[in-house]
């Protein structure tokens, strides 16, 4: 049964779509975690949902609606230069309102409820060839954007004061990264759904940062973890017909737990080494 499924076209499409989304989610996640913008990802995905639900009601393309919704929030968040607590409460206020509007849209929508469920929980195995092509195009845009922005983005994420002094346009970078994040989120929603976007955008990056201090390597590790989680999750759901999102988030979380354990052990050891050096001297 499992082997038979592996030969199916829709499985190949799902695996490819998953890979495309995992690569950009893992890559952008590193910057999101470094900038402390995890909550913003959640906001963008929930308002992507509102956009998608609005598109359902009005009879537009769902993915287009989702991208418009995400981009709108991404733009607003990128323009808001406020930091920390004020930003979080502003995001909280906006996202809950947006979600409320999304609920109304779903209520007004008279079509199949599955569409809505797919939005919330993802539907990777239902990806069509046309969808895969669109996913790949958007992912390409995000990838190119990240490559072009890499150094000033890293600079402004870890060291904004000096970056500004050296002429890095912080506002431009901020808007650009949130727009790329909005595109990535709209992609990830199609795989894991609105509610689980963080499992691809945040968890792999957070795990990777526990494992290495090299910025470049952290990105590669994050991509690798996101890839294993997505592809592993898709394959497991072929074997055991539970929701793919469950498997993806479980694998992703398992990596996170392991990374924390490795980190704790490593630092415990380095601390005891330092203590013994001090004691010896």
Partner 1 sequence: MTAPVVSVRRLALNFGDRSLWNDLDFELQEGELLAILGPNGTGKTSLLRILLGLLEPSAGSVEVCGRPPRESRTKVGYVPQQRVFDRDLPLRGRDLVRLGLDGHRWGVGRVNHEERARIDRALTEVGAAAYADAPVGRLSGGEQQRLRVAQALVSDPALLLADEPLLSLDLSYQRIITSLFDARRRSAGTPVVFVTHDINPVLSIVDRVLYLAPGSWAIGTPEEVLTSETLTRLYDTEIDVLRVRGRIVVVGTPDDQHVHHIDEVHA
Q: Which residues bind partner 1 (CB under 8 A)?
A: 30, 34, 147-152, 154-155, 158-159, 161-168, 208-210, 212-215, 218
Q: Compute the radius of gyration of the chain from its Cα atoms.
A: 20
- Rank residues 14 and 176 by Cβ distance to partner 1 and give the closer one: 176
Is the alpha carbon torsion for 78, 82, 84, 87 positive or negative? Answer: negative
Which alpha helices (DSSP H) does the chain contain, by range? Answer: 2-6, 9-34, 38-58, 62-79, 84-108, 113-121, 129-158, 160-165, 170-192, 197-201, 203-211, 215-239, 244-280
Distances (CA, A) of 216 to 159, 220, 223: 16, 7, 11
Based on CB atoms, which residue is closest to partner 1, 212 or 250? 212
Burial degree of 265 (CB within 10 A; 0-12, 13-18, 19+): exposed
Minimum gap (Å) between residue 245 Cβ and partner 1: 27
Least spacing, CB of residue 155 vs partner 1, in Å: 3
Nearer to partner 1, 59 or 167 (CB): 167
CB of residue 40 to partner 1, shortest distance in Å: 17
Of 208, 187, 207, nearest to 197 by C-alpha is 187
Contacts of 198 (CB under 8 A, 6+ apart): 38, 41, 42, 45
Instruction: Tell me how far, at minimum, the Cβ of 216 lies from partner 1, in Å.
Output: 8
Which CB sits closer to partner 1, 36 or 100? 36
Q: How far is the CB of 166 from partner 1 (least distance, A)?
A: 4
- Burial grade of 119 (CB within 10 A; 0-12, 13-18, 19 or more): buried
Which one, 65 or 204, has the nearer CB to partner 1? Answer: 204
Nearer CB in complex with partner 1: 87/132: 87
User: How distant, in Å, are the alpha carbons of 27, 76, 205 from that of 215?
Assistant: 11, 28, 11
CB of 176 to partner 1, least distance (A): 11
Residue nearer to partner 1 on the CB measure, 35 or 42: 35
CB 126, min distance to partner 1, A = 35
**Rounded CA separation 39/87 (Å):** 10
Chain-centroid distance of CA 271 in Å reads 34
């Amino acid at each position: 049964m499992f082997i038979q499924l592996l030969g199916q076209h829709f499985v190949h499409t799902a695996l490819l779509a998953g890979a495309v989304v995992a690569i950009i989610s893992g890559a952008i996640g590193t910057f999101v975690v470094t900038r402390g913008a995890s909550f913003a990802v959640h906001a963008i995905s929930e308002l992507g949902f509102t956009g998608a639900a609005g598109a359902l009601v009005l009879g537009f393309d769902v993915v287009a609606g989702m991208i418009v919704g995400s981009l709108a929030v991404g733009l607003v968040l990128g323009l808001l230069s406020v930091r920390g607590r004020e930003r979080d409460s502003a995001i909280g206020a906006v996202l809950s309102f947006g979600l409320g509007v999304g609920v109304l849209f779903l209520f007004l929508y008279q079509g199949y409820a599955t569409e809505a469920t797919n939005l919330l929980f993802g539907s990777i195995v239902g990806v069509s060839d046309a969808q895969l092509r669109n996913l790949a195009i958007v992912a390409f845009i995000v990838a190119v954007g990240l490559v072009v922005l890499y150094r000033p983005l890293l600079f402004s994420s870890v060291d904004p004061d000096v970056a500004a002094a050296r002429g890095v346009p912080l506002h431009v970078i901020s808007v650009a990264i949130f727009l790329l994040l909005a595109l990535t989120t709209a992609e990830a929603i199609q795989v894991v759904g609105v509610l689980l976007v963080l499992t691809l955008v945040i968890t792999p990056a957070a795990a990777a940062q526990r494992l290495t201090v090299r910025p470049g390597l952290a990105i590669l590790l994050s991509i690798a973890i996101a890839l294993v989680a997505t592809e592993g999750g898709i394959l497991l759901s072929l074997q055991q017909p539970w929701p793919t999102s469950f498997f993806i988030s479980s694998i992703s979380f398992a990596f996170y737990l392991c990374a924390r354990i490795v980190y704790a052990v490593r630092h415990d050891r380095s601390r005891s080494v330092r203590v013994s050096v001090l004691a010896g001297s």
